[in-house]
Amino acid sequence: MSRISIHGEWSSRMAFIMAATGSAVGLGNIWKFPYMTGQYGGGAFVITYLLCIAILCLPVMMAEVMLGKRGRSSPINTMRHLAQENNQSKLWRLLGWSGVIAGFLILSYYSVIAGWALAYIPSLASGTFTAVNTMSPTEITGFVDSVFKSLVENPVQLTAWHTGFIFITMLMVAGGVKGGLERAVTFMMPALFILLLVLVGYAISTPNFMQGFNFMFNINFNDLLYPNCTEAVCKFSGEGLLAAMGQAFFSLSLGMGAIMVYGAYLPKDASVSKVTTAVVVADTSVAILAGLIIFPIVFSNGLEPNAGVGLVFKTLPIAFGQMPFGTLFGTLFFVLLVLAALSSSISLIEPAVAWLVETGKFTRASASVVSGIIVWLIGLITVFSFNIWSDVKPLAGLNLFELINYLTSNIMLPLIGLLIAVFVGWLMQKSTIAEELNLSANSIGYHIWYFLLRYVTPLGVGIVFLNAIGVFS
C-alpha cells in the first residue's frame, strides 16, 4: 500500500538533503554545541557526542525518515496509520503528539535565541565591535559582556526580536513545501558553510589556535563526568553523558517528527541511507567547524570556555571587530545564522502545521498563524527568564529557560528516539521496512542498521538515562 502526501513533495533527492540539513544545522551547531563543549570540559564531550551521533542517532534518523516516507503525512497521522498497518496499539499516535509538544517547546526558546542573533545584525553592521581594536584584553572582555547583558536584560527588546523571528517563521511555513521551505534552504546552507571556512581561516591566524584545538580534541573524561567539580574526590555523575546524548538528538533534529515529516515529502525512489548519511556528515562538520572557530578566539582573548549561553555572542564579535572586512563578514555571518535558525524553526513547527491542515479545518496559512501564536506565547517564559524572572528556579536550581531546554533536549528527544527505535525495530514488519528503505533485507548494511536500532539504541539511551538518575552510582 502506498500513500500520497497531500502537502506536496520535494522536487528531488537533493532538495530533501538540503531541507533536512537546513533543519539539522542551526543554533544547535553554532550556539549550543560550543557552549556545551565549553561547559563539559572539551574533548570528552566532543567524543561522546560523536559516538552518540554514529551509534545511537544515525540509526534513529534512518528510522524516522523511513517512517515518514511510509506514512506520507504529519507524524501524528503517520504513527496512527503505521500502528494500524502493523496491528499495534492506537497509543503509538501519542508519539506523534509528544513530538508536536516538544517542537513547540523547543521553538519557544529557539526563537528567543535566534532573536539575539537578529539583534546582533544591526550592531555588527554599524561597526560597534570595531571598538575592540583600541582596547586592552580586560576592556574587551568587559565590553562584549556588557553588550550581551544589555540585550538579554531588556525584556522589551527581547520580546520585539522574538516576535520578529516568529513572524518570519510563520511567513515561510505558510509558503508550503516547495514555495517556502525548499527555496529558502537551497542557497543558505552553502553560503553559511563558505563563511564558516573563512572564519576557520581567521581562527588559525589567532595566537592560541592550537590551545583551542587541543581543548576540543584532548580527551579528559573527568571534565565530562564531574562537571564543575573542585573537590579532590568527585561523585560520579551522568549529567555530562546525558547532555552529550541530548545534544546529538537535538542537533540532528531527531525525536520530534521534524525529520519524519520531511521524510513524508521524500520521493518514493530515494535511498534513505544515502540521504541520511549526507545530512549527518553536513551537520557534524558544521558543529566541529563552529568549535574550531570559537575556542581559539576564547583562548586568544583570555575568555572562559564555560561562559554558558552567551559564549558565541561574546566571542565572535571580537573576531569580527579585529579582522579585515570584519564589519561585512560579521553582518553576513549573523544574517546567515538567522537564516540557518529559520530553516530549523520551520521544521520545528511543520509537524503541527501539517497535522492541522490534515484535519481539513485549516489552510497552511491559518495553521501557521495559530501555531506561531501559541509558540510566541510560550516563548515569553524564556524571554522573562533572562531578566524579570531570572530568580525563578522551580527545580534543581534551573531557571525556566534552562528547565525547558533540559526537559526537551535531555529527556523528551532521546526518549521519543528510543520509542521510535522500539517501534521500528520490534513491532514493524521487516518487509515494509526494507521496501521503504530501498535496501535488500539481506544486505550487510540492512543487518547492521537493524541490529543497532533493535538493540544498541534502546540499550544505549536507556543506560544513559538510568545513569543520569544515579542508578549506577
Binding site for ligand PFF (CB under 6 A): 23-24, 26-29, 103, 106, 250-251, 253, 256, 258, 344, 347-348
**Closest distance of CB 386 from ligand PFF, Å:** 19
Q: Is 23 or 237 the residue whose CB approaches ligand PFF more closely?
A: 23
Give the count of beta carbons closer than 10 Å to the beta carbon of residue 437.
24
**Closest distance of CB 289 from ligand PFF, Å:** 14
Q: Is 28 or 321 the residue whose CB approaches ligand PFF more closely?
A: 28
Q: Is 26 or 296 the residue whose CB approaches ligand PFF more closely?
A: 26
**Closest distance of CB 435 from ligand PFF, Å:** 26
Q: Is 147 or 287 the residue whose CB approaches ligand PFF more closely?
A: 287
Instruction: Tell me the three cell numbers of residue 87.
Output: 496491528
Q: Is 132 or 353 the residue whose CB approaches ligand PFF more closely?
A: 353
Instruction: Tell me the three cell numbers of residue 233.
Output: 574526590
**Closest distance of CB 254 from ligand PFF, Å:** 7
In angstroms, what CA-CA distances link 413 with 114, 198, 245? 21, 33, 10
In angstroms, what CA-CA distances link 387 with 325, 331, 398? 34, 27, 14
The Cα–Cα gap between 11 and 265 comes to 9
Q: Is 132 or 416 the residue whose CB approaches ligand PFF more closely?
A: 416
List the one residue out of 109, 112, 169 whose CA is nearest residue 349: 169
- Give the list of residues 6+ apart from residue 122 with CB closer than 8 angstroms, or none: none
Distance from CA of residue 281 to its chain's centroid? 14
- Give the list of residues 6+ apart from residue 224 with CB closer than 8 angstroms, or none: 40, 41, 44, 45, 48, 240, 241, 244
Q: Is 114 or 174 the residue whose CB approaches ligand PFF more closely?
A: 114
How would you label 242-278 residue by residue, b for 16+ Cβ within 10 Å and e otherwise? bbbbbbbbbbbbbbbbbbbbbbbbbeeebebbebbeb
**Closest distance of CB 338 from ligand PFF, Å:** 12
Q: 8: phi > 0 → left, psi -120 to 50 → alpha, else beta; which?
A: left
**Closest distance of CB 345 from ligand PFF, Å:** 7
Q: 89: phi > 0 → left, psi -120 to 50 → alpha, else beta; which?
A: beta
Q: Is 128 or 253 the residue whose CB approaches ligand PFF more closely?
A: 253
- Give the list of residues 6+ apart from residue 190 with CB closer than 8 angstroms, or none: none
The Cα–Cα gap between 399 and 285 comes to 31
Burial of 472 per CB tally in 10 Å (0-12, 13-18, 19+): exposed
Give the count of beta carbons closer than 10 Å to the beta carbon of residue 446.
17
Q: Is 23 or 206 the residue whose CB approaches ligand PFF more closely?
A: 23
**Closest distance of CB 379 from ligand PFF, Å:** 15
Q: Is 318 or 354 the residue whose CB approaches ligand PFF more closely?
A: 354
**Closest distance of CB 250 from ligand PFF, Å:** 5
Instruction: Tell me the three cell numbers of residue 373.
Output: 501564536
**Closest distance of CB 276 from ligand PFF, Å:** 14
